[in-house]
Amino acid sequence: MPNDPKQDHSLFERPIFEDPEARALSRVGVVDVGSNSVRLVVFDGAARSPAYFYNEKIMCALGAGIAETGRLNPKGRERALSAIARFAQIARTMRVSGLTAVATAAVREASDGQAFCAEVLEQTGVMIHVIDGAEEARLSAQGVLTGWPGAYGLICDIGGASMELAEINDGQVGRRVTSPLGPLKLRDVKGGKKGRRAFINETLDQLYNQMGNQRNRLFLVGGSWRAIARIDMERQNYPLKVLHEYRMTATSVRETAKYIQSQDPDELRARCGISSSRMDLVPLAIEVLKGVLRRFKPHDIAISSYGIREGVLYEQMPERIRQRDPLIEACRFMEAKDARIPGFGKALYRFIQPLFNAAKPEQHRLIKAACLLHDVSWRAHPDYRAETVFDSTTRANLGGLKHSERVFLGLSLLHRYRNKAEGTRFEELARLLSDKQRHQAEVIGKSMRFGAMLWQSDSENMGSLKYYPKKAELHLRLPTSTGALYGEVAESRFNALCNTLGAAPTVKVRD
């Protein structure tokens, strides 16, 4: 991120999606053969922050009963084979450049795991790479780094038959371990809840001895963790239903555990949109999560929707692509694809930047993202552009954003098309922001709303703004060649910006 907000630095370098190495990452397909589910994801779009072009999951429960039989669940095996055959056909139809299939705990532990892989290869042409627990942990950690470059903390990835831990620090993966703490395995532990708790605690003690003290952020990866997060959202009536980067605390996890016990499972499942097969695993998973929190005591908890599949994609990225900001790259891709004048976002940022000289680098990052996205919703009906851009921004597949930052970015873009946020169906989300943040988002939006009136083929000739907060004055200087653009609507929008800033307007047109 830039230290000097007046300079563009890396955030406005040549778009990475124009690079041949980045183009090679388009339409990358990953098949994840897990102990509980089999999923196909096809990535496309901005190489550093790709969109999910296609995403399909089948709950096969390959690992069910493996502790007793030592073999893959026969029905699950049949369903998984059928699913992979379908996925292979879909990948061919989509002209996926490369399809990578990885299998985790169930296949690597089952006595018939290799036979299953051979059958898949023979019938579908898909070669499954069976990875060990350490490699599973590493790929999950790399998936987290896809969304959080430079992140630090402990990755905890739960599957059906195993749970992996990996540490990350300054964007690098460190120690990593695997364990049998998957919900499907815990079903077979003798002694009921008391026996499970003893098994969980004993296993976590071993993991702690291997991993050492890990009291930074805990990143939760895996479907069971996401299901618990959905229930936590339901319990708290949380307004933004986006799982990625959702935050929890040890206290909220304990409260949610009690909440689950007090609810009818079928009604709770229906309210939260959780499948019945996943819901069956939630009580076991939350026992593990409470144990992890007791043993490692992280300072906070973040849900990651990125895991092994994103880690496989990250593995294919050159280092210089990995170093790019996923938010900015995604926004630049969206601008290039959907804006009426691609590239104007950079000029717009330079024009409005003087209003935010006191802003911190992380705030300038959001302002730049807003400028890149300021025109991507132009196809929507004018009456609904504000709501369309807010809705799409807060729920978009954008990496590197906290929930409050999603709302801040969405609110900034809402004000790009609408003076007031009141009366929209998104008012409730504004409670995730402070009054100061809401005001700054309004200033960003109204400055973009005005700046968009000064579109020029020569963006260097837009004019300039000078803001004097102590004198409460905002000066606009326009070259003679641009003066005609300052018509009635432009004047009205400039005055609206000044009113929001509490500043007196001054306009000068001269060369």
**pLDDT tens column, 453-489:** 998 766 677 899 999 999 999 999 999 988 899 999 9
**320: amino acid identity, one letter:** R
**pLDDT tens column, 39-73:** 999 998 767 887 889 999 999 999 999 988 999 99
CB 367 within 8 A of CB 359: yes
CATH code matching the domain that covers 134-307, chosen among 3.30.420.150, 3.40.50.150, 3.90.420.10, 3.20.20.10: 3.30.420.150
Supply the Cα-derived Rg of the chain in whole angstroms: 25
Find where tokens 């960003």 sit: 444
**439: amino acid identity, one letter:** H
- Alpha-helical (H) ranges within 54-172 are 66-69, 74-93, 105-109, 113-124, 133-147
**Tell me, what's the pLDDT at 139?**
96
What's the whole-number mean pLDDT along residues 397-413?
92
> Distance between CA atoms of 416 and 412, rounded to whole angstroms?
6
Tell me: pLDDT of 23 over 90.
Answer: no
**Tell me, what's the pLDDT at 1?**
37
The share of the chain scoring above pLDDT 70, in percent, equals 94
**pLDDT tens column, 237-264:** 999 999 999 999 999 999 999 999 999 9
45: left (phi over 0), alpha (psi -120 to 50) or beta: left
> Distance between CA atoms of 399 and 52, rounded to whole angstroms?
12
> Distance between CA atoms of 360 and 39, rounded to whole angstroms?
40
Tell me: pLDDT of 356 over 50.
Answer: yes
Question: CA dist 446 to 90, 175, 409, Å?
Answer: 45, 48, 13
Classify domain 26-130 at the CATH class level. alpha beta
* Largest Cα–Cα separation, the chain: 85
Burial 233-249 (b: 16+ CB within 10 A, else e): bbbeebbbebbbbbbbe
**Tell me, what's the pLDDT at 455?**
84
Out of 5-14, 163-172, 187-196, 411-420, least confident range:
5-14
CATH code matching the domain that covers 322-509, chosen among 3.30.499.10, 3.60.10.10, 1.10.760.10, 1.10.3210.10: 1.10.3210.10
For the chain, give every domain's residue range.
Answer: 26-130, 134-307, 322-509
**Tell me, what's the pLDDT at 10?**
47
Domain 26-130 matches domain 322-509 at the CATH topology level? no
**Tell me, what's the pLDDT at 20?**
56
Tell me: pLDDT of 511 over 80.
Answer: no
Element of type H or E holding 494:
helix 488-501
Rounded to the nearest 5 degrees, what angle is found at the Cα of 16, between the Cα atoms of 11 and 21? 150
**Tell me, what's the pLDDT at 422?**
75
Pairing of strands 98-103, 300-304: unpaired
| pTM, entire model | 0.89
Find where tokens 């369903």 sit: 79
CA 299 to chain centre: 21
Element of type H or E holding 464:
strand 464-468
Out of 20-24, 265-269, 336-340, least confident range:
20-24
Average pLDDT, the chain: 91
**pLDDT tens column, 109-121:** 999 999 999 999 9
Pairing of strands 172-179, 217-221: unpaired
Element of type H or E holding 500:
helix 488-501
**pLDDT tens column, 273-315:** 999 999 999 999 999 999 999 999 999 999 999 999 999 999 9
Element of type H or E holding 57:
strand 51-59
Torsion angle of the four alpha carbons 138, 401, 291, 76, in this order, in degrees rounded to the nearest 10:
-60
Tell me: pLDDT of 506 over 90.
Answer: yes
